[in-house]
């Protein structure tokens, strides 16, 4: 690691002072896989915990091409105009490959880039989802400590990453477009249940009747789910991210959502449950890594894999026996 590495205290002070360059370096630190960096990262994240938690965390998902980066750019500007400090993070590990290298290519967020109250962090490339998700969670905390009160976490609609985003944000916005034929088929049932707000983008290209039809299809699909006691019912709104229309309604919905879940206690309860869930996720991740990094264990696990695939041992019993080995090796 570089000689001019900052101490925990220097990192902390820089972050609390809202210095973007220090925040950027701190995020690089939490993304690092080196053991020394991890130690420093742990100390840093623990030290800034008292200054975290005060933002609204918005998750945004949707297929490539629906306009997520355009939306974040436009809606981000809308948020700046109502005096928010906006941080934008991405959780998609494959964004570079899928061509949706949204945040990596900063020119695609022209309105936000370089603005004083904006922090944009490209998606880390080339690490597996588990690692990406955890570093994104810590990045959220670092952004909050740096004073960002609106954190947007973006993901491309690919299974697991949506669950991860759901588990680190307060609200999940699903961005879609009309007429692509994938409005509903493209959404797996599991994702539908996670969504808090649907926004049909590119309304400038859609005829009114068709927009009405798309909205009622969504409404129909969403009504198959039970009413939500703690959270406002899912709303289906539309916008043109390109022309910056429809943002008022979206802003209003988010604000009334935030108010409702804050008043009824769901906001805090959900945040607490999320933290516990991340602790457990992380534990599983550590056990998996421990096995992968220990040659003796790895060989044993491979033996169990053969036994299980040849029907000589039940999968559950194999897991139990591997678990017992963990205590010994
Ligand atoms: P992402 O892959 O979901 O991040 O999508 P992008 O933000 O990169 O947008 C994909 C394409 O759709 C770009 O050419 C955008 O200019 C275009 N686009 C995004 N929003 C709108 C919109 O509201 N109206 C129109 N007409 N085009 C849009």
User: For 187-207, how does the pLDDT look when each residue is reduced to its tens digit (9 = 90+)?
Assistant: 666 778 889 999 999 999 988
> pTM for the whole thing?
0.89
- 248, with CB counted inside 10 A (0-12, 13-18, 19+), is exposed
The CA-based angle 95-98-103, given to 5 degrees, is: 30
Does the domain spanning 1-51 belong to CATH 3.55.30.10? no
Query: pLDDT per residue over 279-328, tens digit each?
Result: 998 898 888 888 888 999 999 999 999 999 999 999 999 999 999 988 76
Give the long-range contacts of residues 27-35, CB within 8 A, separation 24 or more: 27/121, 27/135, 27/138, 27/139, 27/142, 30/135, 30/138, 30/139, 30/142, 31/124, 31/127, 31/131, 31/135, 31/139, 33/127, 33/131, 34/1
Quick check: do 1-51 and 52-264 share a fold?
A: no
Residue 63 alpha carbon, nearest atom of ligand 1 = 3
Q: What's the whole-number mean pLDDT along residues 15-31?
A: 96
Using CA atoms, how far apart are residues 100 and 152, in angstroms rounded to an integer?
17
C-alpha atoms less than 13 angstroms from C-alpha of 198 in its C-beta half-sphere = 25
pLDDT at 178: 85
pLDDT at 97: 40
pLDDT band at 125 (very low <50, low <70, confident <90, very high): low
Please state, for a pLDDT cut of 70, what percent of the chain lies above it: 87
Best residue among 67, 175, 180 to mutate for probing ligand 1, ranked by most atoms within 8 Å of CB: 67
> 151 C-alpha vs ligand 1 centroid, how far in Å?
21
Q: Which of 36-40, 87-91, 121-125, 133-137 has the lowest mean pLDDT?
A: 121-125
Topology of the domain covering 52-264: Rossmann fold (3.40.50)
Enumerate the domain spans of the chain: 1-51, 52-264, 276-325
pLDDT at 102: 46
- Tokens 């105009």 correspond to 81
Using CA atoms, how far apart are residues 149 and 51, in angstroms rounded to an integer?
11
Q: Are the C-beta atoms of 84 and 50 separated by less than 8 Å?
A: no
> 201 C-alpha vs ligand 1 centroid, how far in Å?
8
> 121 C-alpha vs ligand 1 centroid, how far in Å?
20
Residues with CB under 6 A from ligand 1: 62, 64-70, 100, 102, 201-202, 204-205, 240-242
């Amino acid at each position: 690691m570089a000689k001019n590495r900052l101490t925990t205290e220097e990192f902390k002070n820089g972050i609390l002072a809202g210095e973007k360059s220090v925040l950027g370096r701190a995020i690089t630190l939490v993304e690092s896989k080196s053991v020394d960096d991890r130690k420093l990262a742990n100390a840093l994240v623990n030290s800034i915990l008292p200054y975290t938690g005060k933002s609204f965390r918005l998750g945004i998902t949707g297929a490539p091409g629906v306009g997520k980066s355009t939306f974040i750019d436009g809606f981000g500007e809308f948020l700046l105009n109502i005096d928010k400090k906006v941080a934008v993070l991405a959780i998609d590990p494959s964004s570079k490959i899928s061509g949706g290298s949204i945040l990596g290519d900063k020119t695609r967020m022209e309105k936000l880039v370089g603005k004083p109250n904006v922090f944009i962090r490209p998606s880390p490339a080339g690490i597996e989802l588990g690692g990406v998700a955890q570093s994104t969670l810590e990045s959220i905390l670092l952004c909050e400590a740096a004073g960002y009160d609106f954190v947007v976490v973006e993901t491309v609609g690919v299974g697991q990453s949506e669950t991860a985003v759901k588990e680190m944000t307060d609200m999940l916005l699903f961005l879609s477009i009309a007429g692509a034929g994938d409005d509903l088929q493209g959404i797996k049932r599991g994702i539908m249940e996670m969504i808090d707000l649907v926004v049909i983008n590119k309304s400038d290209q859609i005829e009114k009747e068709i927009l009405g039809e798309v909205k009622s299809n969504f409404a129909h699909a969403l009504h198959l789910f039970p009413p939500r006691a703690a959270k406002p019912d899912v709303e289906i709104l539309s916008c043109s991210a390109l022309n910056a229309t429809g943002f008022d309604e979206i802003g209003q919905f988010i604000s009334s959502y935030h108010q409702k879940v804050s008043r009824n206690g769901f906001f805090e309860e959900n945040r607490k449950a999320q933290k516990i869930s991340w602790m457990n996720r992380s534990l599983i991740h550590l056990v998996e890594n421990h096995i992968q990094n220990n040659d003796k264990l790895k060989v044993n696990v491979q033996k169990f894999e053969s036994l299980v695939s040849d029907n000589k041992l039940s999968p559950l019993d194999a897991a139990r026996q591997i678990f017992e080995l963990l205590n010994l090796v």
